[in-house]
Amino acid sequence: MTGGKIPVVGIVACLQPDMGIGFLGGLPWRLPNEMKYFRQVTSLTKDSSKKNAVIMGRKTWESIPPKFRPLPNRMNVIISRSFQDDFAHDKERSIVRSNSLANALTNLENNFQEHLERIYVIGGGEVYNQIFSITDHWLITKINALDKNAIPAMDTFLDAKKLMEAFSEQCPAQLKEFLPPKVELPETDSDQRYSQEEKDYHFEFTLYNRK
Ligand code: NDP
Q: What is the mean pLDDT of residues 15-28?
A: 97
Q: Which residue has its alpha carbon closest to ligand 1 atom 45?
A: 80
How much distance in Å is there from the Cα of 59 to the middle of ligand 1? Answer: 5
How much distance in Å is there from the Cα of 130 to the middle of ligand 1? Answer: 11
pTM: 0.97
Q: Is the CB of 206 under 6 A from ligand 1?
A: no
Ligand 1 binding pocket mutation candidate from 31, 60, 64, 155 (most atoms within 8 A of CB): 60
Q: Which residue has its alpha carbon closest to ligand 1 atom 7?
A: 57
In CATH, 8-210 is 3.40.109.10: no
How much distance in Å is there from the Cα of 85 to the middle of ligand 1? Answer: 18
pLDDT by residue (tens digit) across 45-71? 999 999 999 999 999 999 999 999 999
Q: Which residue has its alpha carbon closest to ligand 1 atom 20?
A: 100
Q: Is the CB of 116 under 6 A from ligand 1?
A: no
**Residue ranges per domain, the chain?**
8-210
Give the pLDDT confidence score for residue 53 in this predicted structure.
98
Is the pLDDT confidence value at 3 over 60? no
Q: What is the mean pLDDT of residues 19-38?
A: 98
Give the pLDDT confidence score for residue 4 in this predicted structure.
53
Give the pLDDT confidence score for residue 2 in this predicted structure.
45
pLDDT by residue (tens digit) across 152-197? 999 999 999 999 999 999 999 999 999 999 999 999 999 899 999 9
> Which atom number of ligand 1 is nearest to the Cα of residue 98?
20
What mean pLDDT value characterizes the chain? 96
Q: What is the mean pLDDT of residues 67-96?
A: 98
Q: What is the mean pLDDT of residues 33-53?
A: 98
How much distance in Å is there from the Cα of 161 to the middle of ligand 1? Answer: 19
* DSSP class per residue in the chain: ----SS-EEEEEEEETTTTEEEBTTB-SS--HHHHHHHHHHHH--SSTT-EEEEEEEHHHHHHS-GGG-SPTTEEEEEE-TT-S-S-EEETTTTEEEES-HHHHHHHHHHHHTTTEEEEEE---HHHHTT-TTT-SEEEEEEEEESSTT-PPP--EE--HHHHHHHEEEPPHHHHHHHS-TTS--PPB-TTS-BEEEETTEEEEEEEEEE-
